[in-house]
A and B are shown apart, each in its own frame.
Chain A
Amino acid sequence: MTGEDVRRAVAKLARQIADRDAGSAGAGSDGSALLLVGLRTRGIPLAARLRRQLEELSGEPVALGRLDPTLYRDDLWLGRPRLEPTDVPVDVSGRRVVLVDDVLFTGRTVRAALDAIMDLGRPARVQLAVLVDRGHRELPIHADFVGQALATRREQRVAVRLHEIDGRDEVVLVDQAASTAERSSGVQRAIGGS
């Protein structure tokens, strides 16, 4: 996906989130206020972009937080990832929470994030928005909002790059064997937009 494809996918996600919202972005059909929660690392800037667009669509402020679900992971025996700050500045109880991440793959990160968000309170609803759904789920988890579905092989890697972190927007499919070379020589194979 090129930068333009990423931009379109984010705009699509924002419209979907607003549509499901029966009315303004601030209040859902069940009357609950929206809270966007970006998952580390690249879910965080994506959630901030979605908030800007949702605020433009509705003219109302949208709450934003960030979450690192690492301490809820099921693979900590592998090692100890560096922890990022969790900062959800409002009470999640009674809110419509939309978790935002860059790639949906096995579903294990989302499972951890669901447990983490439940420890912060009792949301009215929890939904999931992802820029890319690449398939190969290992848990019964699905996304409510998908920017772009991609057919991938399990051993491939989906590299999402976002301007706020990586200096440019793009999504690249990388063959694992070639991933080392990719790091030095740049883009392997750009994926066409929708």
Chain B
Amino acid sequence: MYRERSAAPERATLAAGAAPASSPTAGIDLPAPAGEAEEWPGRRHVLDLDDFSAGEIARVLRTADAMKEILGRPIKQVPALRGLTVVTLFYEASTRTRVSFELAAKRLGADVVNVAAASSSVTKGESLLDTAHTLRALGADVLVMRHAEAGAPYVVAQHVGCMVLNAGDGWHAHPTQALLDLYTLRERLGRIAGRRVVIVGDILHSRVARSAVWGFTKLGAAVTLCGPPTLLPAGELPWPVAVEHDLDRALDGAEVVMALRLQRERQQAGLLPSLREYVRLYGLTAERLARAQPGAVVMHPGPMNEGVEIMPEVAYGAQSAIADQVTNGVAIRMALLYLLGGGAV
């Protein structure tokens, strides 16, 4: 099963716009290979992946290929979104996601204003909608929002005239993270349909996991959720996924392993008997990883608790795609900023 796709990573790298290691006169394939069936009917908001079709996801990933080529240039900027004003409005701490959005907007020539709620009028009691209306009146075209309450970006999208990109809302959704995960995997493995993906950790409180499962299942991957019963959603799940409490069993034959950050307050809340117990049962070690397929891809949305949900030798090992995830995040967010607001022509 693995032999047949030994050449796939090379192909994927070329498709992503990396400089080919060939001579200047090497042949360029003509015409461009037809990708997945793509579509882009146009949308003003990206709030989650639950309402994305596989064709829309394919269009985002393909657009990100073109964006990644720009990121490899000496002058990493194009004028496509000149005159557009993007405001990042973060009610929760973030480094990588906020910087990633800011860079994405700047690489496309947009103007960017960053609002950290902790130092804004929010501390004077201004409501979310007041703040959003004010930013709109100041000229914001796109609001990139992170909020601790699930659904907050939906309220803004409904009531304020801005385009809204959800950068994480409560436990609910983190669609740009899911898209960059899909992009990184496509780059590594070529194809996502049929791949065996394990997501391990605190699924219950994870917006990353929820959006990732929507994305993976829409593209036809076989997803297994793994974690202690107290950290898995109860009741019937809205996705076609398997649930496995034993990580060693879940890893058997896995081609992708995504470890999630364990928030330490989960233990304080009584959901875990002890941190040491969690590490012993669910920490991703090199020994455990060996149970997955040879060459299985390791992912983590960051920030990592090294030595808890993932060991350093795995996080920085040859199978890790974690650094690629961060780099690809800029390309994915550029793709979404480009695609927002306009239908295909």
Contacts and interface: CB of A to CB of B under 8 A. Distances in A.
B118 interface: no
Given A68-B66, A76-B80, A87-B69, A61 B32 contact: no
Contacts of B65: 83, 85
A183 interface: no
Interface size class of A (residues with CB under 8 A): 35 or more
A85 B69 contact: yes
Interface in B42-69: 42, 59, 62-63, 65-66, 69
B28 interface: yes
Interface string B13-45: 001010110111111101110000010101000
A19 interface: no
A63 B25 contact: yes
B74 interface: yes
Contacts, number: 105
Nearest to B81: A76
B339 A71 contact: no
Given A63-B24, A86-B66, A164-B30, A78 B345 contact: yes
A81 interface: yes
Interface in B121-141: none
Nearest to B83: A77
Contact of A80 (B22, B69, B345): B345
A30 interface: no
Given A71-B79, A89-B20, A164-B31, 16 more contacts: A44-B31, A48-B27, A63-B25, A66-B28, A71-B338, A72-B80, A76-B342, A79-B42, A85-B17, A85-B65, A86-B17, A86-B66, A87-B28, A87-B69, A119-B77, A165-B31
Interface of A: 35, 41, 44-45, 48, 51, 55, 61-66, 68, 70-73, 76-87, 89-90, 115-116, 119-121, 164-165
Smallest CB-CB A-B distances: 10 pairs? A79-B345, A80-B342, A83-B66, A61-B25, A63-B24, A71-B80, A71-B78, A90-B24, A79-B342, A164-B30
